[in-house]
Amino acid sequence: MAEEFPFEASGKNLLKWYVKNKRTLPWRSLRDPYAIWVSEILLQQTTVAAVLGRFLPFLEQFPNVEALAAASEEEVLTALQGLGYYRRFRAMKRGAEVVVRDLGGELPNDFDGWKALPGIGDYTAGAIASIALNHPEAAVDGNVVRVMTRLLAISGIHETPAAKRQIGTLVLLMMGKMSPSEFNQALFDLGATICLPANPKCDACPLVPWCRAYHTDRVSFFPQRPPKTKMVDVEVAVLLVRRGTSFLMCRRPFDAKRMPNFRELPEVWLEKEGDAKQALRNLIGEKWGVEVQVGRALLSCKHTITKHRLTCSLYQCESDLEDLEGMEWVSRDELKDAPTSTITKKLLARFEDAS
């Protein structure tokens, strides 16, 4: 039972391990709540390696909440393009606007205040409150769930907010009176470097003397997961219309669920046996009433979006299209500073290499 578990002794051992083994990360030298907020949003569903090169440049461009609030959404998305899951960045931008407009530019000073901002849930609010403000709050992400379910051999699926709050209660018991900032980051590092999903390094783990999963030979059993989402293979036909050094592109709506306000080449997701050329002719014909001749496939690339595994093929348009409503000509230079879909960037990069 959890009541019988030596939380204090195991927690102290974890913190000793962390002092000697903690990762050097750029946001760890900062205690500014704004910087920690930015780091946590960038890290959502993104690897640390992918964020390392983006965090400090972002802070240089938007050094405080006022700068972020004053920026355009396009500027923010462009600064972070390539990281995916762009709704989190739109929410962070809206959160900055709320802070400046409604809170006089003063960032929240507790868990509830942070959670009230757009795009911030239990984990992010707990992370900011504990790391930046040193408040005794749990911050339960996937790493923490894995560590705690193995340590205490907790069965069941812990994907829901309620289940994570139960884990959070155990984290606070283990934290005791230790520094919340140091303790939560110790848990993050343990899950990221030692208590790995596959092939965990149990011999190097500071919690192994108390780990119930380890001592019952069930480490691989925890944490229990819901059934994996089946991947769906999709063929995507993409149309290349070129005029000099510019390409004809459409812009996604500001309220689009995926990649809002991003530019992209016209594309069609096909049925399994779909005719790519006809689908592209239909796309242009139905939207703009223009007939086009679609040439051969020039090249293709692979891309994955959530449960969809895409094969994207680029077809050249042999018609001389003029301006179309809702479309715009975007030059190579403009593409460097405009939020652009990953599929479009991949295909154009390959096209340029082959030209």
Determine the Cα–Cα distance for residues 72 and 338; give it in Å rounded to an integer. 12
Residue 232 Cα distances to 131, 210, 211, 229, 309, angstroms: 39, 42, 38, 9, 6
Strand partners, 250: 264, 327
Of 40, 235, 264, 267, the catalytic one is 40
Exposed (0-12), middle (13-18) or buried (19+): which is 210, by Cβ within 10 Å?
Answer: middle
Tokens representing residue 175 in the block? 């934290």
* Known catalytic residue at 40: yes
Contact (CB, 8 A) for 194 and 207: no
Q: Where are the beta strands (DSSP E) in the chain?
A: 232-240, 242-243, 246-251, 263-264, 267-269, 294-305, 308-317, 327-331
Determine the Cα–Cα distance for residues 4 and 21; give it in Å rounded to an integer. 29
Provide the annotated active-site residues.
40
